[in-house]
Chain A
C-alpha cells in the first residue's frame, strides 16, 4: 500500500495485519447482512445474533472455556479494566476484601487499573520479577493475605515474550480462594491456554494481536466457581450485564474466525516462528558477535525476540531504519523516550535497556525478510559504531 514495497514489518507484538481469511468472513457483515444482534425480533437481528454466538463458541474453544463465559469487549485494554476494576469494585462493595496482587512487568493498562482502584479503597502489592522476567509463584503465595481478592499476572509479556508459570499460580490462587486474572493479549493463539488446566478465572483477549482487526477483544469470566464483577459501563444490559452496548457484529465474527485459525495452526506456526527467530539470532551473532537476548529464551512465545546491542542507542538505530518496523518497548509507551520499565525490572540499567529493541515475527513473515532485516540492522549498527569511533578519534 502506501508503505514502500521493500518495507519489512517485524512489530507483531504491537499489532498484526488482518488475516485475509478473517477479512473474507468479516466484510459481508458490514453491508450485506448488517443487523443489530440485539434486535432478535426480526430476521436481520437473529442472523446477526447467530453469527455472534458462533464467534463466541470459536473464542471459547481457543482457551477451553464455555461460550457463555465469553464477554465481547472493544479490546484487551477494556477487558483488563473490566476484570480488575470490576472484580475490585464488587469485592469492595460487598466487603469481601480489598487487596490486589500484580507484577511490575504487566501492561500499563493493568498497572493503571490497579492504581486507580487504590483511589477507591483497594491496596495493591506489585511483585518483582527475576532476571529472566518470571514472577515466582511462591512469592505470590506469600503475598496473599486474608483480604486478597485478585491476582493479576499476564500470560505472556508484551516486550520480552516470556511465558509466566500460570498453572502454578492458578493452583495457588484457587487453593486460597483468590481470583486469578490474566492478560492473555500476547498469549492467546500463540501458546496453549486452558482456563481449567490453569485455574484462571478472568482472561483478557485482544483481536488485533491475533490477526483480527482492532476494536474487538474479549474477557473470559468463569461461571463455576463464579467470578463476580461490576460492569464498567451500563445501559442495555448486553453480554450478561457485564458489558452494555451494541456488539460490533463484523468484529465479533472476525475475532471468532481469527481464534479458530490460530487454534488450528498453533503447533506448526510455533515451529515455523521458532526457526525464523533462530535464523535472526544466528545471523545477528555471525554479523555482530556479541548480542544479548533479554528475558528467557526457553519459556517464550516464538514470535518475540528482544535483543540488546551494547553501545547502540536503540532509538537512533530505529531512526536509521525507516524501512524496518521494529520497536523499543511497547507501542503504547514507545512514543516516550523513557527506557523500558519491563527491561529495567529484569535488572538492566538505563544504558542496556536503551540499547534494546523488540523484533516481532508473525504469520506472514518470510525467511527472506528475516535475513534482510538482520542485514539492515547489522549495517546500521556497523555504521553507528564506526561513526562513534570516528568521532572518538577526532
Chain B
C-alpha cells in the first residue's frame, strides 16, 4: 500500500477541479481576443476570480492571478519598494525575495515575537512592509496575523500574509486578518500546479514583475493560464466547505501523535503546544536524521518529507526549527507528516508501524554494535 502523507508539498487535484479544467481546455480562445472564443474564455476567468475572491472575503477586482505562490510572494515583497520585515520562519520565497529583509524572531513554539516586532517597527524610519505567514508549511503553527497587522498598522506599515498553507484548511478572511496583501497557491488546496494569486487591498498597486500585454489590469502580463485559473476557481469553491473534513483530519492527526509519543516518549512534536493546522505534524526523533527517516519510510511506501519540498534536495537543517531555538542536530532529526482529505486511519497505521520500527531500531542499534565489538 502506497501512503501519501505529504499534502503540504502538493495535493492531488480534486475531481471537480479536473472537470473544470477539462471544460477550459476545450475552449481554444485567448482571453484578450475580441471574438466569441475570446469572450468565452474571459467569462471562465471572471467566474474563477469571483470564487477565489470569495474564499478570502475579497472582491474579484482585488485578485491578481500569477504562476504560483512563489511569484505572488515575490511580487508582494518586491513591488512596493519598502523596508521589509519578515518572520524568521517564512517560506524561502518570502525570505529570499529581497536582499535587505529584517527577520522578526519567533518564540520556541514558532510564533512571531510581537515585542520584537514592535522594537523593529519603532526603529524603522522608512515606509515598511511586514510579511508574516498565516500557517507554517513545516510545523503548521498558526501565527497571530491579526495582532501583527494591528501592530504594524499602528506604525503605518503595510502587511502581507502568505496564506498558502492555511487556505483550504482554515477560514481565511482578509478583513478579519486586517492584512493588505495575501498570497494563495492553487496546488496546496486541491487545484493544479502552476497557478496562484496575490490578493491586493483596493488601491494598492505593486510594481509588476512581468510586463508586456495588459492582462490582470496591467498588474501581471502574459496570456492567462485559463485551465489553471478555472481549476483554481473550482478548488476555491470546494475549499469553502472545509469545516467537517478538518475536524476528522485533526482527530486522526492527534491520535497519531499520541501513539508516536507512547512508542518513543522522547519524541518531540514541534509547535505542538500552540494552535496548528489540523493536518500537519512535525515530529522530531533524536538520533535519526530526517533524511534517513524519510528514506526508510519511502522504502516502505510512505511519503513524508523533511523540510519543505523546495529545499528537500539539500541536506540542511530546517531554518524553521532553528528559528524556534532547536540546535542544528535536533533540527536535522525532524520529519513533516501532512495529511489530506483522503487520508485514512489505515494509512496512518501503516506510517506509525514503520516509524515505530525506526524508533525501536534506534534504541537497539548502539547495543548491537557494542555486542559485535
Which of A16, A45, A107 has most B Cβ within 10 Å? Answer: A45
Q: Residues of B with Cβ closer than 8 Å to A?
A: 2, 4, 6, 9-15, 17-18, 21-23, 25-30, 32-38, 40, 66-71, 73-75, 78, 91-93, 96-97, 185, 187, 192-195, 209-215, 221-228, 291, 294-295, 297-298, 301-306, 308-313
Number of interface residues of A (CB under 8 A): 76
* Segment among A60-68, A111-119, A130-138, A140-148 that sits at the interface with chain B: A111-119
A308 to chain B, nearest CB (A): 19
Which of A42, A247, A324 has most B Cβ within 10 Å? Answer: A42
* Segment among A29-37, A267-275, A342-350 that sits at the interface with chain B: A29-37
B352 to chain A, nearest CB (A): 17
Q: Are B222 and A77 in contact (CB under 8 A)?
A: yes
Q: Are B215 and A215 in contact (CB under 8 A)?
A: no
Q: Are B67 and A41 in contact (CB under 8 A)?
A: no
Q: Does A7 contact B (CB under 8 A)?
A: yes
Report if A15-B10 is in contact (Cβ < 8 Å); known contacts: A246-B70, A326-B35: no
CA distance A235 to B69 in the complex (A): 10
Report if A15-B210 is in contact (Cβ < 8 Å); known contacts: A233-B71, A251-B193, A331-B38: no
Q: Does A311 contact B (CB under 8 A)?
A: no
CA distance A386 to B302 in the complex (A): 74
Report if A325-B192 is in contact (Cβ < 8 Å); known contacts: A45-B303, A232-B210: no
Q: Does A374 contact B (CB under 8 A)?
A: no
Residue of B11, B30, B96, B226 near A235 (CB, 8 A) is B96
Q: Are B309 and A74 in contact (CB under 8 A)?
A: no
B91 to chain A, nearest CB (A): 7
Q: Are A234 and B93 in contact (CB under 8 A)?
A: yes
Q: Which residue of B lies closest to A238 (CB)?
A: B310
Please classify the interface of chain A as helix (H, G, I), strand (E, B), loop, or mixed, using the class held by over half of its residues.
Answer: loop
Q: Are A14 and B33 in contact (CB under 8 A)?
A: yes
CA distance A107 to B222 in the complex (A): 11
Residue of B15, B69, B211, B304 near A42 (CB, 8 A) is B304
Q: Does A283 contact B (CB under 8 A)?
A: no
B84 to chain A, nearest CB (A): 13
Which of B36, B67, B92, B312 has most A Cβ within 10 Å? Answer: B67
Q: Are A75 and B222 in contact (CB under 8 A)?
A: yes
B70 contacts which chain A residues (CB < 8 A)?
233, 235-236, 244-246
Q: Does A98 contact B (CB under 8 A)?
A: no
A83 to chain B, nearest CB (A): 12
Q: Are A38 and B312 in contact (CB under 8 A)?
A: yes
Q: Does A368 contact B (CB under 8 A)?
A: no
A382 to chain B, nearest CB (A): 21
Q: Does A80 contact B (CB under 8 A)?
A: yes
B309 contacts which chain A residues (CB < 8 A)?
36, 38-39, 45, 236, 246
A17 contacts which chain B residues (CB < 8 A)?
26, 28
A288 contacts which chain B residues (CB < 8 A)?
none
Q: Are A40 and B313 in contact (CB under 8 A)?
A: yes
